[in-house]
Chain A
Amino acid sequence: MKAGAFVRAVEECGRRPRAAARVGSRTKWVMRAAVFGGVVGSLALAGGDGNSNGVVNTPFVVFGYNDLGMHCMNGDYSDLIILPPFNNLHAQVIDRRENDPHIVRTGVTIDYRIMGNTHSSDKSNFWQFWPPQFGPARPPNIGLTGNGLRGTMSSTGNGDFAATGIPVVPIDDLGRENPYPLANIVVKQNGQVMARTQAVVPVSTEMSCYLCHNNPGISTGMDILLKHDRLHGTNLVNERPVLCARCHADNALGLPGDPTLPNLSAAMHTAHAPRMGMIQLPEVCYACHPGVRTQCQRDVHFANGVTCTDCHGNMLAVGSPNRRPWLDEPRCGNCHTRQGFEFEEPGKLFRESRGHRGVQCMTCHNSPHAITPTVTEVDNVQATNIQGHAGVINTCTVCHSQTPSDPFPHRLTDD
């Protein structure tokens, strides 16, 4: 799809137009010489070193992806805690040196680091309000699982590698908001770089509770707790900071909560569903899920006019007590039907499924809510770097030394 088509698609579905996806070209920079007086002195010239063919030429090829396409976190933890800074970055490695490429499962180290975002504890007060339910408090800039903003991934046992619980926040080291920071991923074998890539580690604090909870003189969190106390006879204002999942079960955190109470997702969606008319937003989900600025739903579906509720249902459906939050999610096969194609593995979600000899679905398609080609440039970086154009990884020679003569098998098994 051409860039112009993206712009049209976005405009046609009534959203603000975003910059078109960068397709098939890599910017060449030719920096001008700059000669200044004094101590600034002479400056290095930038190279004009673009990759001419856009297809990887390293022994391995690595694909990075986030598991959800967006992770939310509180902007302030002093009153209540919904979600901590916690991001999961995955990578799958393919050895492409022979005609029959295969997944690399052992014998490599995969390092990651978030570019320009190397610390969090000065940008979030999570470490000041670390709740005991999360275990002993970790040092600054270290997340719940012990990972930091740079480190080494571990094998998941599912054919890929992951670093979980990365405590990245959406403010870079220069102070600018960036909910789509890039992680640099480097694969080494015996100390030699075998492949590298870049993947988005999306995170946002844009849970805009203040749109409704905005009583002058008190914080948004206090307003929420006061209303909860009034409606449910609790005394949360005196128990701050309140971890919501302490009482309301939350699969995202793996906390069981009080079994007599609705889970957090059900409680939130059913309580707020009748009140959403108070907010005048084109996409009402962005009142709580990031967000008006972030617009985390940025993928090819969005570009083609698919809305949140088209896949997830309305708030009452999402808040159904029979739904298992984070586990009962939309399936590709609900909408996509194509002769000879198979989609998710039985009993698994897109983000867990594999096909084509164990290749993760996300390896080729990217993360949920960021299925390529996206309307955001940054989510297209990986595909563009790897195969020379944005979109699904559909260039066979990214992994195969030659293009196979057989039709591509979009199936769970491929023998």
Chain B
Amino acid sequence: MSTKISNELRFAVIVGGATLIAGQAAAQSYQVTDLGDLGGPMSMAFAISPSGLPVGTAATPDGNLHAFFNDAGQVWELPPADDDQQSWAFGANDAGRIVAMSFDLGELHVHGQMWEAGVSTPMGNFAPRAMNAANVVVGYISRDVTDMGFMDRPAVWVNGIIGELPTLGGNSGYATAVNDLNQIIGFSDTAGDAQVRATLWLGGTARNLGTLGGTHSQAFGINDMGDIVGVADDAAGRPRAFRFQIDDAGVVVTRTDLGTLGSVDSYACAVNERGEIVGTSNDRAFIWFGGLMTDLNTRIPAGSGWRLSRAAAINNAGVIVGSGWHDGYPKAFMLTPMLVGDTNCDGAVNNFDIDPFVMALTDPVLYATSFPDCEILHADANGDGVVNNFDIDPFVVLLSGG
């Protein structure tokens, strides 16, 4: 594109605004990061701390899977307990603690691990699944039940004490998440093991959260606002991602089917304090907000080589972790929201972004060369997934603080 046109564009950006659409909301784009490995070909991420520490599991050179966390790009291994071969990390908080399951395939008991400053504290046969800011950990224990065999029971771990949570009358259950109000959710069997139902534990009692009209449901995420997400059968028996909102008494006041990404089923994994919900549908990671389910694969740079399958967790900064495919292997990813309009990637949207913005519009190759650490989608001001002239007006809005 000629210099003349570039200057015209620059002028349009500087003085533009005549055709601005007030309040135009831009869909969020993300920078995608491979969370690394432990020498093997695969990895998965399951949780992220409020301050952005992702945790998961990754293959080692000998083919086993060991827990890991990624601290500012550095991958750290959290090995299994003695005599175990596998470990998977499922929770992290800003108190510097990480919880992981350590186990051997084919064995009955999982050995919980609480990691802090590189030191692992055994959690007994408690299998941790999530942890809140106050180090309350929820998960399950496996135990022998008379005439029933081995059953998994929902449980909570606090300061070394394990407490079993009641089920909804059935024989097994799992606690999957806990918010900072110590509200615990998960799922358990109903009487006679007839159904599996999303469960809320309040005051030591189990409450059946119901379904979307079908038989079964499971809850996997809860925030402090009373949003509970998971999967529930609808009246047609289709598994659908849901958001149930509860009041202060724990009563469900709204039930929302979050829809799908083209398949008939969807699964919600987590929700943050902004009400952003992540999960999977049609083998694609999604984010749901304000009634709209968006395929996260459409919100990352084109040509990234990623196929995002499952978004497992999202923190309050909107950073998402999960699992997908990259270079042909299952890989853990982290999606970091781009500051749209910050085309020079200095952390702010201001007049210094005008020239890079124009460069992104007129010469993407030069932009990539000039700003190698800055995704061109920072210039995608209208959030339609491409950088073009339709981004000019929204960019002006961003510059003017609109």
Contact = CB atoms under 8 A, between A and B. Distances in A.
Interface of A: 16, 18-19, 22, 26-29, 31-34, 36, 38-47, 49-51, 57-58, 75-76, 113, 115-116, 118-119, 121-122, 125, 127-128, 139-141, 173-180, 182, 184, 186, 196-198, 208, 210, 214-223, 291-295, 298, 374-379, 381-382, 385
Given A219-B325, A294-B105, A196 B86 contact: no
B209 to A, nearest CB: 16
B162 A115 contact: no
A42 B110 CA distance: 25
B273 interface: no
A139 B162 contact: no
Contact of A118 (B105, B143, B216, B265): B216
B165 A44 contact: yes
B86 A292 contact: no
A292 B146 contact: no
Contacts of B108: 22, 377-378, 381
A128 B239 contact: no
Interface stretch (B12-20, B61-69, B296-304): B61-69
Given A41-B203, A43-B156, A210-B329, A177 B65 contact: yes
27 contacts: A19-B83, A36-B136, A40-B201, A41-B202, A43-B156, A43-B165, A49-B145, A57-B147, A115-B172, A116-B152, A125-B283, A125-B309, A141-B239, A175-B46, A175-B312, A179-B105, A184-B171, A196-B147, A196-B148, A214-B328, A215-B328, A218-B327, A293-B65, A294-B105, A295-B105, A376-B107, A379-B106
A159 B166 CA distance: 39
Given A41-B203, A176-B88, A292-B63, 13 more contacts: A18-B106, A34-B158, A40-B184, A43-B165, A57-B147, A122-B231, A174-B176, A196-B147, A217-B328, A220-B329, A292-B64, A295-B106, A382-B149
Given A210-B329, A376-B107, A39 B150 contact: no
B106 A180 contact: yes
B163 A31 contact: yes
A152 B90 CA distance: 34
Contacts of B265: 121-122, 140-141
A351 to B, nearest CB: 20
B31 interface: no
Interface in B304-353: 305, 309-310, 312, 325, 327-330
A376 B150 CA distance: 14
A32 B282 CA distance: 43
Interface centre among A173, A220, A374 (most CB of B within 10 A): A173
A49 B85 contact: no
B193 to A, nearest CB: 7
Given A140-B239, A140-B265, A198-B150, A378 B145 contact: no
Contacts of A19: 83, 104, 107
Contacts of A179: 105-106
A34 B63 contact: no
Contacts of B83: 19
B95 interface: no
B41 interface: yes
B204 interface: yes
A385 B151 CA distance: 13
Interface of B: 41, 44, 46, 62-65, 83, 85-86, 88, 90, 101, 103-110, 127, 129, 136, 139-141, 143-153, 156, 158, 161-166, 171-172, 174, 176, 181-184, 187, 193, 196, 201-205, 216, 218, 231, 237-239, 263-265, 267, 279-280, 282-283, 305, 309-310, 312, 325, 327-330
A173 B174 contact: yes
Nearest to A173: B218
Contacts of B147: 51, 57-58, 196
B149 A198 contact: yes
A150 B151 CA distance: 16
Contact of A51 (B62, B146, B161, B165): B146
Contacts of A32: 161-163
A122 B238 CA distance: 12
B149 A381 contact: yes
A39 B239 contact: no
Contact of B181 (A39, A177, A381): A39
Nearest to A32: B161
A6 B181 CA distance: 48
Contact of B203 (A39, A180, A216, A382): A39
Contacts of B153: 46
A385 to B, nearest CB: 5
A42 B162 contact: no
A210 B41 contact: yes
A119 B231 contact: yes
Contacts of B129: 174
Given A121-B239, A198-B150, A39 B202 contact: yes
Contacts of B310: 122
A32 B218 CA distance: 27
A293 B172 contact: no
A292 B164 contact: no
Contacts of A128: 263, 282-283
A116 to B, nearest CB: 6
A42 B205 CA distance: 8
Contacts of B171: 184
Contacts of B146: 49-51
A40 B136 contact: yes
